[in-house]
């Protein structure tokens, strides 16, 4: 049984249950989601509360047990307007989205009829295992100027076991929620004054910059040169690139001196202007330009979700200008980087997809064939298994997508490499061949992590906020037992800082046990407890974040061991004894 059908059918069942309990209920849309379904509803003069969910769920169980058939019927739009005359959102849909349709499809199960294209399961007994999850706010058509609605979410899986497993994962995910950890670890915050725009705090920015530098270094090793292009660029450029036509609703605009500008939603056109600055010879290719480019994209406030979905983010973007023959080698080199980096962050389960030519595409079949086979060859050469996403490429070229599984088995799409024949055409890019002829280069768009902000969100949840020493914003906290050890503690901090370690002294007036507790909550890898004995003997007693203790170790040895761990970007805190 197709789980998408089950989920969507469960939304109908929930609507029937709600209608039974709240006869005045008005229904908007009720689609499936990737873990279940929701329905947007409005209860005139009232609202559904969290404590009402079990009651609705019980009514749903009853409907499921009754195994009511989903009956399909095509009716005229006029008949539908009559049938749904008490359902104002269905009327709006019939007069809006469906206004040009002569006939529409309705589905009935039991006493409930809904305007819907389907498909559904055969009867209500086939909707699988479900559980109502939560209530959120929504608006008709997602527009905050329209009527407010309540979005009732349900989880739905084919079997009870899968539902149970998923709910356990949710509990685990809530404990790791990066928005909560981000606040607790003082990394970033969000404010109503700039919805969807992350504010990086001192520790968070250390983390963010470490990540940036790390990716920069990797790109540099692969021969890329870094550029930086402006945030605000003329609308003419976005017309030429095609973004204005295809992406306008996701862009921010501004006007100065009677000229319209857009804040960049992508970095490609800026990179292209740099390419075009000079006439390139075949000897310049492949030309690899990378940019840690901050982009802004408008997203409806309802879909914003911490760092996972923000309105501004930084891409580890790169554009490679090359010949068709050079493509494969460049792709191979990129794939190596992807696997190495993901492994360093502890993502070892990596799924690879090739998205192929969609129905609406530009460029000849031959060109698509060459591009797609160079992606395939690059993967096959490295013996990397992949699946095909038929027809899911961009309209201008095929791509490879890299997905990782986190420690609670969630899938995240991170990197991509995309072959593009369109932009070089639109911008009339050229290079001079050895025979003196002008040719068009191919453009490869590539990002290893995608959005650095989103990646950090995923990473924070993957490791539960316990950063390995190399990327931990604060690596060492020195805890003097009494004020008499403050001077020595400060001197020790300076000594460690000389070796590049990120260190803090906790000279607060808290009790020792409280200081240790605070350092544990902050998930700092190393605590150095400095009592009278340590201050006199100049030896350290180290407490690891994991709870283990290393006693009486000379400071120099500690520094050396920690620096080795940092250099190797190991995720362990101490060498095996």
297 is catalytic: yes
42, 317, 420, 506: the catalytic one is 317
Going from the C-alpha of 244 to that of each of 229, 263, 358, the distances in angstroms are 18, 12, 21
The string of DSSP letters for 224-237 reads -EE----SEEEHHH
CB of 320 to Zn ion, least distance (A): 10
Q: How far apart are CA 563 and CA 43, in angstroms?
A: 61
| Residue 240 designated active-site | no
Q: Is 99 exposed, middle or buried (0-12, 13-18, 19+ CB in 10 A)?
A: exposed
From the list 126, 118, 200, 134, the residue with the least C-alpha distance to 167 is: 134
CB 318 within 8 A of CB 290: yes
Please state the closest distance from residue 243 (CB atom) to Zn ion, in A. Answer: 10
Nearer of residues 268 and 352 to Zn ion, judged by Cβ: 268
To Zn ion, the closest distance from the beta carbon of 155 in angstroms equals 18
How many Cβ atoms from other residues are within 10 Å of residue 302's Cβ? 14
Minimum CB–partner distance for residue 445 and Zn ion (Å): 3
Residue 12 is a catalytic residue: no
Task: Say which of 5, 151, 288, 319 is annotated catalytic.
Answer: 319
Question: Long-range contacts: 561-564, Cβ < 8 Å, 24+?
Answer: 562/469, 562/475, 562/476, 562/501, 562/526, 563/499, 563/500, 563/501
| CB 12, min distance to Zn ion, A | 5
CB of 278 to Zn ion, least distance (A): 20
- Is residue 106 within a helix (H) or strand (E), and if so which, with residue range? strand 103-109
The residues of the shown chain that bind Zn ion, judged by CB under 5 A, are 116, 268, 445
Cα three-residue angle 134-49-144, rounded to 5 degrees: 70
* Residue 546 C-beta: closest distance to Zn ion, Å: 42
Q: Is 454 a catalytic residue?
A: no
Which CB, 22 or 321, lies closer to Zn ion?
A: 321
Q: Are 341 and 222 in contact (CB under 8 A)?
A: no
Give the bridge partners for 540, in sequence order: 553
Give the residue with the Cβ less far from Zn ion, 196 or 424. Answer: 424
Please give the distance of CA 469 from its chain centroid, rounded to a whole number.
Answer: 24
Q: Which is nearer to Zn ion, 271 or 356 (CB)?
A: 271
The answer to whether residue 319 is catalytic is: yes
* Cα 112 from Cα 59, distance rounded (Å): 13
- Choosing from 5, 8, 445, 446, the catalytic residue is 445
Q: Is 569 a catalytic residue?
A: no
Q: Which is nearer to Zn ion, 268 or 442 (CB)?
A: 268
Indicate the residue among 314 and 485 with the shorter CB distance to Zn ion: 314
Terminal Cα distance for the chain, rounded: 53
Q: In what order do the strands lie in the sheet with 253-256?
A: 232-234, 259-263, 253-256
Nearer to Zn ion, 4 or 88 (CB): 4
- The answer to whether 268 is a known catalytic residue is yes
Q: DSSP of 365-420, one letter per residue?
A: HHHHHHHHHHHHHHHHHTT---EEETT-SBTTB-EEEEEEE-TTS-EEEEEEEEEE
| Catalytically active residues, by annotation | 268, 297, 315, 317, 319, 399, 445
């Amino acid at each position: 049984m197709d789980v998408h059908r089950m989920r969507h059918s469960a939304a109908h069942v929930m609507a029937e249950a709600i209608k039974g309990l709240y006869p005045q209920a008005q229904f908007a849309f009720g689609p499936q989601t990737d873990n279940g379904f929701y329905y947007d509803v409005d209860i005139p003069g009232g609202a559904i509360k969290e404590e009402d969910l079990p009651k609705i769920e019980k009514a749903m169980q009853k409907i499921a047990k009754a195994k009511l058939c989903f009956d399909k019927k095509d009716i005229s739009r006029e008949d539908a307007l009559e049938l749904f005359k008490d359902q104002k959102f269905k009327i709006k849909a019939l007069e809006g989205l469906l206004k040009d349709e002569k006939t529409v499809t309705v589905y009935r199960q039991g006493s409930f009829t809904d305007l819907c294209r389907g498909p559904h399961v055969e009867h209500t007994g086939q909707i699988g295992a479900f559980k109502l999850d939560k209530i959120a706010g929504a608006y008709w058509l997602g527009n905050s100027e329209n009527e407010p609605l309540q979005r009732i979410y349900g989880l739905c899986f084919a079997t009870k076991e899968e539902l149970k497993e998923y709910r356990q994962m949710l509990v685990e995910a809530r404990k790791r929620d990066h928005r909560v950890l981000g606040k607790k670890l003082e990394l970033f915050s969000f404010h109503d004054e700039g919805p969807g725009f992350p504010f990086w705090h001192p520790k968070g920015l250390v983390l963010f910059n470490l990540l940036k530098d790390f990716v920069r270094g990797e790109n540099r090793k692969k021969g890329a040169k870094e550029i930086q292009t402006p945030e605000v660029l003329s609308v003419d450029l976005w017309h030429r690139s095609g973004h204005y036509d295809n992406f306008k609703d996701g862009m921010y605009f501004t006007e100065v001196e009677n000229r319209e500008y857009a804040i960049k939603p992508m970095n490609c056109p800026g990179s292209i202007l740099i390419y075009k600055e000079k006439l390139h010879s075949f000897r310049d290719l492949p030309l690899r330009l990378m940019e840690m480019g901050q982009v802004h994209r408008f997203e409806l406030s309802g879909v914003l979700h911490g760092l996972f979905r923000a309105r501004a983010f930084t891409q580890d973007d790169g554009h490679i200008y090359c010949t068709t023959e050079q493509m494969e080698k460049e792709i191979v080199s990129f794939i190596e980087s992807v696997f190495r980096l993901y492994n360093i962050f502890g993502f070892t389960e990596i799924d690879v997809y090739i998205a192929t030519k969609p129905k609406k595409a530009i460029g000849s079949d031959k060109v698509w064939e060459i591009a797609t086979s160079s992606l395939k060859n690059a993967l096959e050469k490295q013996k990397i298994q992949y699946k095909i996403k038929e027809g899911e490429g961009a309209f201008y070229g095929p791509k490879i997508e890299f997905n990782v599984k986190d420690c609670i088995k969630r899938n995240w799409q991170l990197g991509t490499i995309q072959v593009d024949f369109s932009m070089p055409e639109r911008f009339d890019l050229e290079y001079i061949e050895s025979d003196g002829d002008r040719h068009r280069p191919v453009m490869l768009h590539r990002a290893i992590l995608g959005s650095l902000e989103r990646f950090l969100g995923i990473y924070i949840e993957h490791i539960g906020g316990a950063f390995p020493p190399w990327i931990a914003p604060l690596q060492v906290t020195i805890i003097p037992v009494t004020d008499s050890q403050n001077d020595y503690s400060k001197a020790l901090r300076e000594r460690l800082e000389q070796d590049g370690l990120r260190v803090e002294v906790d000279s607060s007036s808290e009790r020792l046990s409280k200081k240790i507790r605070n350092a544990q909550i902050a998930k700092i890898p190393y605590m150095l407890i400095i009592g009278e004995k340590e201050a006199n003997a100049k030896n350290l007693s180290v407490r690891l974040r994991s709870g283990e203790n290393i006693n009486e170790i000379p400071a120099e040895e500690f520094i050396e061991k920690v620096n080795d761990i940092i250099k190797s970007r190991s995720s362990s805190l101490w060498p095996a004894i």
